[in-house]
Structure 1
Amino acid sequence: MGEGKDAYEHEQTVRRGTSAERRIPGRSTLPRPAPALAGALALAACGVAPESADDGAASRAGDAPYDLVIVGGTVVDGTGVDRFTADVGIRDGRVVDVARDVGLSGQGAEEIDASGLVVSPGFVDHHNHVQNQVHRRPLAENFIRQGITTILPSLHSGDQPYPLRDYIENLEVAPNIGFFAGHTWTREQVLGMEDRAPSPEELDEMRDLVREAMEDGALGLATGLLYVPANYAETEEVIELAKVAAEYGGIYYTHMRDEARGLLPAVREAIRIGAEGGLPVHINHFKAMGVDSWGQTVQSLALVDSARAEGIDVKVDVYPYTAGSTGSGVLFPQWVLAGGIDSFRVRVTDPEMRARMEPEIKEWMRRDWTGGDLSRIQFRTLRAFPEYNGRRMSDLAADRGLPNNDATGVQLAIELQLAGGFSAIYHFMDEADVIRIMRHPQAMFETDGDPVGYGLGFPHPRSYGTFPRILGRYVREMGVLTLEEAIRKMTSMSADEIGQSERGRIAPGMWADITVFDADRIIDRADYVDPHRYSVGIHHVIVNGVPVILDGSVTGAKPGQVLRGPARHLTETPGG
């Protein structure tokens, strides 16, 4: 926690705000928001989108032709073309002018000086764990401080908002947000935690729930097939639900059934679901986890390429870390946890079943999670022993005088699961695989992060640092991607993936989701020792034409829109 004090002081600066009267490069050039922008910020802070204002642009902005202008910046427009110098004019939440030859300074109700900075479309986060919690942290500060303007909680877990229509109707958030129909939630509503296939009648109930979510605005169907109870589903069950999402033009997002020793069969299954379900496939946090699987991204990406050559639309995303994070349930073969904690307790106290499960758990842990080293498991939330949060399972073993091996890991995993389980950071990937995925032409990015409160708990650093880490470490320092390539993956390619063709580009007519950053300075600061550290280099973040980060400070505005799927248009009636 070496720089915890610095992080705390930074947080206090964020809460207080900074003076906008200092006219230095990267700062807004007006001493305070002009009336037009002040009004927009006030409306947005109340959850009113810019286009909801009653007055026209002229009455809001006085004589200024633009609500906001960004001047002197280097534009990376999201399409992959070379960067260029231009001013950007914004009105009514959209980009209306990208002026290369004629300066726009002085023509906006508010002006941002982007001299020496990059002006790019805002970033799209393809997977996170916001789910039905975003109303509790509507500013989504740890996301917008990364330059993210759109978050996609792809509902691998069981906490889908329901009814989705009611939840999103009056949702007031800083970034844009899109939801999915969650397979896990759907299965739990009908089958609970039972390890069996649904009856025809139960499958119809599941179809109806997916259909309802799609008609409420879901972007597609999302699965978390690694986790109980979703991993009890046969492929055919998922295909049937995917067909419903496909009827509404949806996409299939998935945390695959296996990302370790069963990686290649899991990729084939995802492709099959898309092919037979009739919809595009997006594989979240594509990886090869566990030392025995390192290097298999060569084969797994080849499967993606082969499917695309056959006309199946398959894409992936990746986060820029060699560690993941999830709950302790993944350490157990699925039969061990079937039926919930009470059934688990019965099994572990039955000598015959205990003798059966221990060797399976041991091999499961070694191949997928630890590689024989318990230091690869770093506790985030250990309910039974919270003093170990942030420390490793090997530390707990050592303090008990136990050896650092998987036999010890089995005993500790069972004990801790009975005591309420835990969430952990698992250090199980190789950077060469991460880089190989990043470079793939069909790869985009995600945080897989949580909506964290500053200083609360022990999150994975990706919750704070994903996108700045890509731009700082992998673009600037390592040259894995060019800046233009990385921005395209983060913006236009990502917006197109979810059917949002009016976002992800800086061009006239596009929604003004914009991030202004210092390409020479941007970098993540959060790490596995001190995760509560904001990144540096992000100056301004604009959502639908309204700043949510201005001069590095959170404005409190909530101009984000719910991005609804194509079913919204298919089910709307004239005048509805």
Structure 2
Amino acid sequence: MLDTVIHNGHIVDGTGNPWFFGSIGMKDGIITHVGSVNIESKETIDAKGQIVAPGFIDGHTHSDLLVLSDPQIDIKLQQGVTTEVVGNCGLAPAPFVKKHGTLLKEYVAPIIGDTLCDWSWETVEEYISELDKANISENVSTYVAHGAVRIAVMGFENREPTRNEMDEMKFILEEGMKAGAIGLSIGLLYSPGRYATKEELAELCSVLPKYDGILSTHIRGEGNNLIPSIKEVIWIAEKSGISLHVSHLKAAGKRNWGGVMEALNIIEDARARGMDITCDVYPYDAGSTSLTTLLPPWSLEGGIPACLERIRNASLRNKIKEEVGEEQEIWDNLVVSTGWDNVVISSIMKNTQFEGMSILEISQNTGKDPIDTALDLLLEEDGNISIVYYHMSSNDVEQVIKWDYSLVISDSLGCQIGKPHPRTFGTFPRLFAKYVRENRTLTLEQAVRKVTSFPVQRFKLGKRGLLVPGYKGDITIFNYRTISDVATYEQPMQYPEGISYVFVNGVKTIEHKRNLRTSHGEMIRAERLLCNCHSLHV
């Protein structure tokens, strides 16, 4: 007897091949039959008129703490997502060294959420063990995050590492890879990641080939410096002999719109000479990050407390204001390219009356200059402010979505107060509603592949992402005619329509928007063969 049989579905199996009518049988968390199933089961689901697909993979999120604070959280499950990949953009809660613990928590808080709870881990391996014990409802995999590693060893110092410090960072990365991390993530837009040279990063990445690990990167500049930033990370990957994945590829700022096509051409040229490079994209024309990201890199040396002290210092504050007000050559000034009218407060702890308002609107209400408004808010909020900023072209987004080597992700932040970016609640239904059903940018089968088998293959997540016997029973059933995102920028915390059932490892977890509060998710360790190379000397 099987546990579950799903009958009469339009099966989109994740390969990219055309859908077909059929049934699926599962037992003990594994798909046992696909096609014709005439075996008795404990539960039968009639999927007539609906799409049966592998569970969606959100390959780029910042839910590192959410999955621990609320293991049965259903924000992603309600979208059909069964697996999240965390530790992105160099931002993660591990490694956590008490000497620099406050620096790390203040660094990651606007992106991965509430850091006030006690952290019981120190190493990446111990963080992974916490996920193992957490009785999670969805599957989770993680990178080793470069920013957290550099803070653990060097704090927020803007300099090259010593030989001993580099060896220590290599040791931490190798420990994380041995524990099952899928690779290294770097965030070159964020301090202290932006303090690392390409040579430093190439040496650190020399750890990855032994573990067949991938380098995922938030590049140094996504606006005026998009092209040199793409070339920089390609150089790092080529120098290290590793696979490269470019996070949330975009061209920020109106003057740069269209630049994604040149970036894609550069990546395709690199692929043509044998490099393994892919990217991801979220299906929105607005991004989300921390307000401090808009400041000059030097102002963040030493971490958030040091930054706030500089803002309090009259002469240094004037220097910050001067640089933020002008175009810069060595770093992307997102204020100039985006405009204060397009920088909107999404999450803020004290001045909640400003949620959903742009910095320009707030400045007009308070009678202050916009930059003074932003700096004063950072002081009042101890630097912990999340923003949504409107800086992309919808045509650019569509070009990246339909590119053969892109996968679709949410890049959702872990901060769930105020008005978070609607991508947190609507990314995957939006993909099918807007880019498949309405715009016909992708076929149904292409879209399913981009959020199932492709990310599984890319991140080495094992036997999931396909509807074939022997694979994990991660399954999403949805109505193609009604699936849609409901979340908006004004009212983001709304679940989508059209998702009928979600199974995680063979267990029904979502049933017509009802969270069944199961605990059958898994901490996924990357499945790899160790390369035949000498052990690292650390």
Change in Cα spacing, 1:301 to 1:469, as seen in structure 2 (3 Å) is same
Give the structure 2 partner of residue 212 of structure 1: 175
Distance in 2, Cα, partners of 1:451 & 1:382:
13
Distance in 1, Cα, partners of 2:316 & 2:124:
41
Confirm or deny that 1:92 pairs with 2:92.
Answer: no
Give the structure 1 partner of residue 104 of structure 2: none
Matches within 5 A, 1:137-152: 137-152=70-85
Distance in 1, Cα, partners of 2:493 & 2:53:
26
Give the structure 2 partner of residue 289 of structure 1: 252
Give the structure 1 partner of residue 60 of structure 2: 127
Give the structure 1 partner of residue 107 of structure 2: none
Alignment counterpart, residue 399 of structure 1, candidates 351, 362, 365: 365
Deviation at 1:551, TM superposition (A): 3.3
Please state whether the residue corresponding to 1:311 is helix, strand or coil: coil
Alignment counterpart, residue 464 of structure 1, candidates 425, 445, 463: 425
Matches within 5 A, 1:343-382: 343-348=306-311, 352-363=315-326, 368-369=334-335, 371=337, 373-382=339-348
Confirm or deny that 1:242 pairs with 2:176.
Answer: no
Distance in 1, Cα, partners of 2:142 & 2:166:
22
With 496-505 and 460-469 compared, the bigger mean Cα shift is at: 496-505
Percent sequence identity is 34
Deviation at 1:512, TM superposition (A): 1.3
Please state whether the residue corresponding to 1:178 is helix, strand or coil: strand
Aligned-partner residue type, residue 186 of structure 2: T
Give the structure 2 partner of residue 431 of structure 1: 394
Highest CA radius of gyration, 1 or 2? Answer: 1
Alignment counterpart, residue 81 of structure 1, candidates 17, 20, 31: 17
Write out per-residue CA displacement over residues 501-549 of structure 1, whole angstroms, 9 at most, x where no aligned residue: 5211111111111100001100000000001110000011111111111
Quick check: 2:257–2:396 contact (8 Å CA) kept in 1?
A: yes
Change in Cα spacing, 1:482 to 1:416, as seen in structure 2 (3 Å) is same
Change in Cα spacing, 1:134 to 1:568, as seen in structure 2 (3 Å) is farther
Confirm or deny that 1:166 pairs with 2:139.
Answer: no
Quick check: 1:290–1:367 contact (8 Å CA) kept in 2?
A: no
Please state whether the residue corresponding to 1:97 is helix, strand or coil: strand
Change in Cα spacing, 1:564 to 1:158, as seen in structure 2 (3 Å) is closer
With 391-400 and 301-310 compared, the bigger mean Cα shift is at: 391-400
Give the structure 1 partner of residue 440 of structure 2: 479
Distance in 1, Cα, partners of 2:224 & 2:292:
17
Aligned-partner residue type, residue 127 of structure 2: Y
Change in Cα spacing, 1:214 to 1:196, as seen in structure 2 (3 Å) is same
Write out per-residue CA displacement over residues 405-438 of structure 1, whole angstroms, 9 at most, x where no aligned residue: xxx3322222222222321111111101100000
Distance in 1, Cα, partners of 2:527 & 2:474:
21
Change in Cα spacing, 1:372 to 1:286, as seen in structure 2 (3 Å) is closer
- Structure 1, unpaired ranges of 5+: 1-63, 403-407, 572-576
Please state whether the residue corresponding to 1:321 is helix, strand or coil: coil
Quick check: 1:331–1:413 contact (8 Å CA) kept in 2?
A: no
Aligned-partner residue type, residue 167 of structure 1: Y
Deviation at 1:359, TM superposition (A): 2.5
Give the structure 2 partner of residue 445 of structure 1: 408
Distance in 2, Cα, partners of 1:80 & 1:172:
33
Deviation at 1:374, TM superposition (A): 2.3
Confirm or deny that 1:315 pairs with 2:278.
Answer: yes
Aligned-partner residue type, residue 430 of structure 1: S
Quick check: 2:64–2:92 contact (8 Å CA) kept in 1?
A: no
Give the structure 2 partner of residue 503 of structure 1: 464
Quick check: 2:338–2:391 contact (8 Å CA) kept in 1?
A: no
Change in Cα spacing, 1:465 to 1:503, as seen in structure 2 (3 Å) is same
Give the structure 1 partner of residue 139 of structure 2: 176
Distance in 1, Cα, partners of 2:404 & 2:87:
22
Give the structure 2 partner of residue 38 of structure 1: none
Give the structure 1 partner of residue 452 of structure 2: 491
Alignment counterpart, residue 254 of structure 1, candidates 217, 224, 227: 217
Give the structure 1 partner of residue 43 of structure 2: 110
With 202-211 and 331-340 compared, the bigger mean Cα shift is at: 331-340
Change in Cα spacing, 1:252 to 1:140, as seen in structure 2 (3 Å) is farther
Change in Cα spacing, 1:97 to 1:345, as seen in structure 2 (3 Å) is closer
Please state whether the residue corresponding to 1:149 is helix, strand or coil: strand
Q: How many residues align?
A: 497
Change in Cα spacing, 1:372 to 1:479, as seen in structure 2 (3 Å) is closer
With 270-279 and 306-315 compared, the bigger mean Cα shift is at: 270-279
